[in-house]
Structure 1
Amino acid sequence: MAQSDAEILSGLADIINEETGLEQDLVQPDKSFTEDLDIDSLSMMTVVVNAEEKFDVRIPDDEVKNLTTVGDAVTYIKNAQG
């Protein structure tokens, strides 16, 4: 069953907090992973792997570059869950 945007956002915030120590309330849909949240490519790959496990989706490496904002990731995960 697909999760709501809010559930996915909350889950991503938890993952990002665990990886980077950023407060969950800073993880908002309009935030850029690299510019606003200062997540480097290595941390981003860890976030992706953890998101794949948490949300039971597959995010191909060539799709990761298209996920520039938290909102992009939420939308991708929601669509991948079907």
Structure 2
Amino acid sequence: MTNDEIFDKLSALMKEQLHNESLKVTKQTTFHDDLGIDSIALVEFIIRLEDELNLDIPDEDIEDIQTIGELVDYLELKLKS
């Protein structure tokens, strides 16, 4: 998957999880400040991502990720390996 394809997938999943199809998501969008996602909701989102992308994402890898773009870049690397 390309970086843009991963971004599109993440955006769609985030809109679905937050029940807001008109949500504006960019690579600079932060999970906490912009989307109001707490740590529990983020864990739920990551579990869903793992299922969708057939990946294992360790909790410690997610701790420092703050934006959609950072998660996209992380997933791009993870999917290549």
TM-score (norm 2): 0.87
Q: Which residue of 1 aligns with 2:75?
A: 77
Pairwise CA RMSD:
1.4
The answer to whether the 8 A contact 2:3-2:76 is kept is yes
1:25: how far off? 5.3
Q: 1:76 to 1:24 in 2, by over 3 A?
A: farther
Q: Which residue of 2 aligns with 1:36?
A: 34
For the residue of structure 2 that corresponds to 1:26, the secondary structure is: coil
Q: For 2:27, give the aligned amino acid.
A: P
Q: Which residue of 2 aligns with 1:57?
A: 55
Deviations 1:35-68 (A, max 9, x none): 0111111111111011111122221011111111
The answer to whether the 8 A contact 2:31-2:68 is kept is yes
With a CA cutoff of 8 Å and minimum separation of 6, indicate the structure with the bigger relative contact order: 2
1:33: how far off? 0.6
Stretches of structure 1 lacking an aligned partner (at least 5 in a row): none
* Range with greater deviation from structure 2 (54-63 or 64-73): 54-63
Deviations 1:14-43 (A, max 9, x none): 211121123365121011110011111111
Stretches of structure 2 lacking an aligned partner (at least 5 in a row): none
TM-score (norm 1): 0.86
Q: 1:24 to 1:46 in 2, by over 3 A?
A: farther
Name the % identity. Answer: 25
